[in-house]
Structure 1
Amino acid sequence: MPVTLDPDAAFVYKAFQDAGRPAYETLSPTEAREYYRQARFVTNPEPPLLKSVEPLAIETADGIIPARLYTPRMLRQSNDCAPCLVFFHGGGWVIGDLDTHDVACRKLADEGQLIVISVDYRRAPEHKFPAAVDDATAATAWISDHAKELGLDTTRLIVGGDSAGGNLAAVVSIAARDGNGPSIAGQVLVYPATDFAMTQPSHREPETSILLTHTVIRWFRDHYLNSAADAEDWRASPARTQTLAGLPPAYILTAGADPLRDEGEEYARRLEKAGVDVTYRTFPGQFHGFFTMGKLLDQANVAARDIGAWLRALK
């Protein structure tokens, strides 16, 4: 479909081009991680003031997973227990960490009036699929098991993330439904990667090859997966799971100029058809990654407020 960037998104895209922004596929994973980390100083908005931000160490069979717990000043509590969003950062399973998504987590905690726990799962290529999935699943289970000491309400445990993190949140929701994890009350999927087939029209439109290009997606895929066969595994491609029925309510966001646009929209439609309560939002004039760029793109702040409202209304 025709894609026209919003004026502010077009300005940001041109600024990145004029600055000679290197393509991730030209960098090593270590170089790409540092470049992504540094970009946050230019793109992230001012963070809201929270009550506290604390480090966590999540113990799993595969080792310690670093995490970060965000408590907002205004917290919805019942019997000293609060809802919690377990957040998985984006970055193609290769880049991204607690710091790159620190402001996003602060904003979600503030807007949603709930505790956010950001999980620093293992990244590829040092730890290929399904290491990230194993960490996301284990971390969610650990958080549920330690809910009392963390002040969390296990009946209001939500998972979420952007891009690769949205993929992991979708997978954790499916795993939990099938008995490999705690009950999940909701899932927030921000321009999620749902199917490594990458055959949807948005993967072939030149207008969507902005910042997240088709070549970059393949670079991420090749670092993350062990072989082409992994793409068939629902833990890599949650859209491949046998049925989406019985999954928790979902908030799904897509961006118009994003190669992942169509698979996110299709996943929302399939969830709804399976009887899942779905809130679908699209930002037609934005590109992939805009959600963390609130300093430059006000639509990112609009999205954070909308997600916060959905989180507050979630039963």
Structure 2
Amino acid sequence: MPLNPAFLPILEAMAPLAGLDWEATPPASLRAMMDNPLAVGDVVPVERVEELTLPLPGRDVPARLYVPQGHGAVPPLTLYFHGGGWVIGTLDTHDATCRELAVASGSAVLSVGYRLAPEAAYPLPLDDCHDALVWAAANGEVLGVDATRLAVAGDSAGGNLAAAVAIRARDEGGPALRHQLLIYPVTDADFATPSYAANGGGGYFLGTSAMRAFWAHYLGETPVEQAPLAAVLRQPDLAGLAPATVITAEFDPLRDEGNAYADRLVAAGVSVDHAQAPGMIHGFFSMSAMVPDAQQWIARAGANLASALA
């Protein structure tokens, strides 16, 4: 399918990023360029938004709780981990996404402001996300949620973190998860896939240069071979994980690794709803105000969460 035409003005506005040398640009400069979300469209209303500080072992991590309207007395909880290559992204960059997901799913959404690389390299961002899940499971009354009905979700690097948290929850005795929502997730550090060859030039927002930089910042001195919870596609055993929704995008360099991870989950006996969104680019989930066709994918993800968390 051709590129969805709604992306043409977006990509034209983002054209200067296509030639950016991401590997030579300091993370602080990347954040200054990328972490200022534009207000587009009306704010999606929810019943309650609460700024939180999660008291995790040895450190505090910011978070934001979204409780949708008409949720009932005690809603389930989905922890959301934002994208941004483990280097950029904030609670604010994904505010609209979390609002939309809360409304679409009927689940409260806890967006976690995990520490970023390279200042906090692997596995510290993952530790923050995992420990936030453990904290949330033990503090349902504090949050006003049903902590027996839990899911994790994330996009891009956040999808990677959600997948890794699901693996740790399986291997470390919980908390029990009912679902994992993986939106165009990073699953491997392989830049030679056909989707990288076709889409990695930077003309579709995310490019190979950016992903090389993100992986270098995230791993630091750790070889990828020694980071099995970073390159989750290389995990030897995916059996027994929470049921999953995996949504990938046709014009995304991460398409093939996301599709491969979905296939690996299915082969391991995990229940998976997997779809490749035609005509879409990386990041489309956060562009629904400008790309109306993205709404159907948010609705699909929300419906799957609602069913799993019922």
The TM-score range, normalised by the shorter chain, is over 0.9
1:202 is aligned to: 195
Q: Deviations over 1:129-166 (max 9, x none)?
A: 11101101111100101112222223310000000000
What are the Cα deviations for residues 245-276 of structure 1, in whole angstroms up to 9, with x where unaligned?
10011011101111100011111111111111
Question: What is the TM-score with the length of structure 1 in the denominator?
Answer: 0.91
Q: Deviations over 1:251-306 (max 9, x none)?
A: 11101111100011111111111111101122121111111112221122222112
Letter in structure 2 aligned against 1:41 = L
Question: Match for 2:275 among 272, 281, 291?
Answer: 281
Cα 1:21–1:217 change in 2 (3 A) is closer
**For 1:292-307, what aligned pairs fall within 5 Å after superposition?**
292-307=286-301
What residue identity is the alignment partner of 2:81?
Answer: F
Separation of aligned partners in 2, 1:198 and 1:121: 26
Amino acid at match of 1:59: P
Please tell me whether residue 71 in structure 1 is matched to residue 67 in structure 2: yes
CA distance in 1, matches of 2:222, 2:150: 33
8 A contact 1:256–1:284 mirrored in 2 = yes
Quote the residue 1:30 is aligned against.
28
- Count of aligned pairs: 307
Structure 2 Cα separation of the partners of residues 271 and 155 of structure 1: 24
Q: Hey, what does 1:8 align to over in structure 2?
A: 6
Instruction: Report SS of the residue matched to 1:312.
Output: helix
5+ residue gaps, structure 2: none
The offset of 1:231, in angstroms, is: 4.7
* Shift in Å, 1:206: 4.4
Larger deviation: 211-220 or 297-306? 297-306
Distance in 1 (CA, whole Å) between partners of 2:215 and 2:20 is 15
Q: CA deviation at 1:227?
A: 3.2
- Give the aligned residue type for 1:9: F
Kindly provide the amino acid, as one letter, of the partner of residue 200 in structure 1.
T
Could you tell me how far apart the structure 2 residues matched to 1:313 and 1:268 are? 19
Structure-1 separation of matches of 2:14 and 2:188: 28
Q: Distance in 2 between matches of 1:244 and 1:149?
A: 33
Aligned-partner Cα distance in 1 for 2:11–2:233: 30
- Mean Cα displacement is larger for which, 200-209 or 187-196? 200-209
Measure, in 2, the Cα distance between the counterparts of 1:64 and 1:20: 33
Shift in CA distance, 308/178, structure 1 to aligned 2, threshold 3 Å:
same
What letter is aligned with 1:288?
A: H
Question: 1:219 matched to which residue of 2?
Answer: 213
- 1:151 matched to 2:123: no
Root mean square deviation, CA, Å: 1.9
Q: Which shows bigger deviation, 87-96 or 215-224?
A: 215-224
One-letter code aligned to 1:52: R
CA contact (8 A) 2:121 2:220 kept: yes
TM-score relative to the length of structure 2: 0.93
Distance 2:11 2:100 in 1: 24
Structure 2: how far apart are the matches of 1:208 and 1:256? Answer: 15
